[in-house]
Amino acid sequence: MFKYGVHAFLWSADLDKDIPWVAEKAKRLGFDSLEMPLNIIDKVDVQLTRQALLDNGLECTCVGGLGKDQNLISPDPAVRRRGVDHLKRCIDIAAELGAPMFSGVIFAAWGSLVGRGRNDEEWRWSVEGLQAAAAYAAQAGIGLGLEPVNRFETYFLNTAADALKLVEEVGADNVGVLLDTFHVNIEEKSFYGAFKETGSRLVHVHACENDRGTPGSGLVRWHDVYRALLDIDYKGYIVIESFVPEIEPIARECAIWRHVAPGADHLAAEGLKYLKDVEQQVRSERAGG
């Protein structure tokens, strides 16, 4: 069976103080791991978080992104250096939390749109920055996952095919692809095709409905996703990454203006139940049952 996690921002944006009860809730609802966002690394209380994970027997994964002043594809070398430095700090925190993986929009600034597609120079800058981050992460035993996101959030990396190309050019064994079903639904022709194509380079999965609601309540073709995951013998985590309007700082960033689920607990519990049911159905199909 796959391991399932949940994003901590589903319940709170103040994790420097709320992480104990967030971790307890994640465990009580049946999750194996808690995904820690490192968007504002100065607000991560490493000691408190480690203890909360230990107290609840939870594993950990980490995600994050780059801001405009940390953009790996900026024409300003100082901005690019800040981006690499930021990634290294995130890698340090992931290692301290015992996370095997740090993933996200870590190849360019999230939310930066310039009215055109990427160019060759930006591609080269991203490769160079990621090579430096990958070498640093390898020393800490941390893997990196590059997350292609939809065209309204970045112009740089939108599809699984492009993410694979970037991973290949970075050329590091500890760098792979994170696929998020929310973005796959927008940018890909096929759920099965995107996951199958990524193959052994798939290192992390975000499970999210097309409207960021409860998995199973929308348009995502979950059976196709799970068929592909089994076909490629996926070994990583499946993390529910959805948000609710009550967590206002996150709602603003992700444009969650309406209720797409009855509430955070419902989204987590019912989403987890649904995903496990689909996994069992697909496994039974494969076994001839």
C-alpha span between 133 and 129 (Å, rounded): 6
Burial class (CB in 10 A: 0-12, 13-18, 19+), 81: middle
Identify the active-site residue in 147, 153, 188, 209. Answer: 147
Which domains does the chain show, CATH number per domain? 3-286 (3.20.20.150)
Decide if 209 is catalytic.
no
Q: Whole-prediction pTM value?
A: 0.96
| 67: Cα within 13 Å, side-chain hemisphere | 9
The span from the first CA to the last CA of the chain, in angstroms, equals 16
Token pair belonging to 4: 């399932």
Identify the active-site residue in 122, 188, 209, 241. Answer: 241
Exposure string over 4-17, b if 16+ CB within 10 A, otherwise e: bbbbbbbbbbebee
Task: Judge whether 135 and 95 are in contact, CB under 8 Å.
Answer: no
Per-residue pLDDT of the chain (289 residues; tens, 9 = 90+): 999 999 999 999 999 999 999 999 999 999 999 999 998 888 899 999 999 999 999 999 999 999 999 999 999 999 999 999 999 999 999 999 999 999 999 999 999 999 999 999 999 999 999 999 999 999 999 999 999 999 999 999 999 999 999 999 999 999 999 999 999 999 999 999 999 999 999 999 999 999 999 999 999 999 999 999 999 999 999 999 987 767 677 667 777 777 878 899 999 999 999 999 999 999 999 888 6
C-alpha span between 85 and 186 (Å, rounded): 32
C-alpha span between 207 and 181 (Å, rounded): 6
**Helices (DSSP H) in the chain: which residue ranges?**
15-28, 46-56, 77-96, 120-140, 160-170, 181-187, 191-198, 222-231, 248-254, 264-286
Task: Judge whether 245 and 256 are in contact, CB under 8 Å.
Answer: yes
Task: Judge whether 97 and 58 are in contact, CB under 8 Å.
Answer: no
Strand partners, 37: 63
Strand partners, 178: 204
Task: Judge whether 259 and 245 are in contact, CB under 8 Å.
Answer: yes
Burial class (CB in 10 A: 0-12, 13-18, 19+), 284: exposed
Phi, psi dihedral angles at 94 (to 5 degrees) = -60, -45
Decide if 241 is catalytic.
yes
Question: C-alpha angle with apex 12: 21 to 141, nearest 5 degrees?
Answer: 80
